[in-house]
Structure 1
Amino acid sequence: MSNSRIIFHPKMFLSFLLVLALAISFGTAAFAATSAAATTTQVVIKLKLGSGQMTVDGVASTVQPPFQQKGVTFIPLSVLTKGIGAQLQLTDNKKMTLTHSASLKVVMATGSKTAYVNGVQKTLPAAPVVVKGFMMVPLRAAELLGAKVAFTASTKEIVIKGARAATAGGQVGIDTDAGKSKIGDSYFKWSMNYPTGLAQSYQSGTGDFIAFQDVKKNYYLSISVEEAKDPLTAKDQRDYLEGYIDDETVLNVKEITLPSGNFQTMVTKSSDGFYYEYRAIQANDRFYILMFGKSAKAASELTANKPLLDSFAPQFDAKNAALKDLSKVKDGVVTYMDADYGLTIQLPPEWEEGYEDGVSYYNGDASITFEITSLKAGDTLDAWVKRQTEAFNNRVADKYKEPTVVSDIVWNGVPAKLVKFSFTQDGTTWTDYYEIFAVKGAYKYDTGYTYDRDGESNQGDILGILQKSMKVDFANVEKTFGQVPDAADDIDQNKTVTKTSKKYGYSVTVPEEWTTSGMDMERDTATFDAAGFNFVIVMEKGSTMQGYPEMMEKAYTSSGIWKVDSRTNETFAGESAVKMTLSPIVTSTAGGKITAYLVEKNGGIYLIQAAVSDASATDFNLKRIEEAFKSFKFNG
């Protein structure tokens, strides 16, 4: 449950990794781009900001135009699906699972900067968003699928190079109760006739998406509700509907008028023999999308279900005894329960359940996490808290943090510590992270609440919920769980390990916590990660130093993000080398520094590079980076 690479809570420092993401994408990616083509099928995708044209290996197609927002470049999701070829699975209209190959799967969700690559948490510079019905994702998402990206500010051109993808719960019945003939949701304010013959197959945590299906899976019905306070024109609504269509042929588009309002409709046919009718209406500051699918031979067969679809209305009559309320929002809150953890928590409906393993909840940039790990013999609550606060201070520069505040509280009837960590990446935007530490029996309980200080999350209300109304069944935990080691307990910050590459003839000594188990040093690229910085070694066979530093300088600076501060001739690991130092241009607020050495040896060029954000440039971190540089040596 705990991150084995750092000894403080990983969600505290998501934003600190952004500078490093840029460093790798425009540093090592540029270096690797000069290598010979890989054995896998490669694809080159080109787009331009504001342009609706994309070319894939020179073949043009139409896409939603890329754009920039707050310094982040967004591209349409179709770049990853149609361009790279990743298979898309959409859950709850928000969670996107992109399968590139049997060994590479990426999960993202709208409203969240958190992504997962084969289950490993990563951070996007911004959350995916829906624009005019099209899903737009940060350009960084392409890198999660193994692609290299480049953006030329002067021409606004985006180039993505990568390998083409290798691959171009039980049902719950609706309790009809006596006399119930309609269903609806009192919170989201909709109702419709009871869908006879269909059973509820899924409902999101808040109830903003609900689906029904028959036993033979020949029929499908779903209702999706999204916030939409700004008026949407008929065209806006149709554009939004098109975002739901995947591998379907549009057969008919029209507006219909019913007693409940004007609906935009689309009839489509999919390749699997299903015909769908989509209906959309804006009301109650929300956008409602009704989707009905049927295995049929012709679209005309959908008309048999017209009475059911016509019965849908964006309203809920609480006085109607025949109307069954399916809402998950009761008395203004949603109750989440996790039987394994013995956990019950009630949250406002703006919060949603997380998708990753463990327990988590999200509301925009705010998040709540809950973890249970085993208590090691001799460990105590005070010692645990001390380790966490020391790690925070070691890894966050003074200018980018505020003093931690530790308070004694009672949580679920046991003594606990409430610790407030506050930090910033750019000196302007601050993040507050409250962490509740508790020990009961054989286990440690870690509850975290993270939010942007300038965000909309109500700090007091959520802290009150976590401290007072969040319930954990300790007896159930003791019964359910066995040994759940906290990998962070075994991390020795001062322990180092020497990693050797026999194929490329070098060795380097780094802190053990920078490494991962099974790390392959026989690849041409070795990456050592830590919170807020990384250390990378790349070897490119067949290259010489002639013109190489100039090429690298151009590669670094072409992104429009980095500038070269110095380029000098040095001795590194006993060899002649070119040393380059870079920092962000003035318009970048995150800061940071890249230090890179280029050495020609063994029939190729070695790049040894460290990239660190200003927020992570502590004496503790800088000393370890410098020691890693000094430890590098060529073998034989």
Structure 2
Amino acid sequence: MFIKRIVAAIVCIALISAFCISSVAIENTKVEVKYSIGKNVLSVNGSPVVSEKPYIKGGIVFVPLKAILESFGADVFIEGKNARVLYGNAEIVLTSQIQDYTVNGTKRHLPALPSMQGKDMMVPVDFIKDNFNVTLKYNSTSRTGTITLEDDGALTDLSFLTGGIIKPKVGNSFFKWSLQLPKGFRVTLQSFNSKYMSFANEQKGIYVGVYIENNNGKDINKYVEEVKADPEKYFYGEITDIRINSKDNLKFAEVLYNDDYDKAAVYERVFFKDGFIYRVMIALEDELDPEEIKNNVTCSGIINSFSLDYNGNDSSVQEISKIRNGQVKYSNYISSYLSYFDDEFMDDMDGIKAWEIEVPPQWDVIYLNTY
């Protein structure tokens, strides 16, 4: 026990030191994005980032919105012809081929029409200047430009200290799902086979879960019928709405309910594909109306980004699966057997592995009561 306290103290000191060092660095943090007309690679603080190619049209320089703003720490959601940007307390909404856009609902005007190019939206570079604390430089001879963002407080992100997510998306290539999460999220739960995942951004009070179950012959229509007939079998709380909806030709059950266990409202989508049931749920801290979660800009952006076609080849996705070569390791620890009998003994023995086995990731654990 004493050794554990010393180790904990050392860890705390290390974390405090990291926070102090990071705070000093963050005071002078800036993001410098360099671009070249006609080239599909940006330089972000000296590191290459693949993007759509900047171009000049009508004497106006156009740059890739998503690639640049994500380097600033913004959350950018591209949905069809629309782009939605979340940065600090601001929400910016743009539409391809329309010059008007909104900032927190207030209408503004672009100097030229934005347009979709590949997976990004190309916008006049002055849009960046008008909405962010940046300085712009452009060399007409070399056809190169620099966009520099000084830290305005929204750049600060210390999630790396707690194993935070460092890419725009997370995904599991074995179960073929991916999800876009704003910066500041971290993994808070992961089952041994990666079928049950939870993510949290405590600062924003947003909690996300992706849970996978074996289908066992059900389809979406039968599922909805069973939930309506016996909701307590599936949900620990009151369902306020359930219906079948679709996105990108993929049907899902949309469920709004109040979770009695966590005393929270939850917005959930349930997908059926390739023999599995995928449950994607999202909750907001202190929010008791699931309809408000559904209509929340950040929450709807997250859940709308859920995809079931990730195969591991997307470099923007952080692979979080524990599955290797079609197998996962299940480890059984002494604590699962002896903690019931002797807490003091377990304080010394906690973490000692009893046995380990590799199993298919579709398997689940069955807990047997042996006493």
Which of these two proteins has the greater Rg computed from alpha carbons? Answer: 1
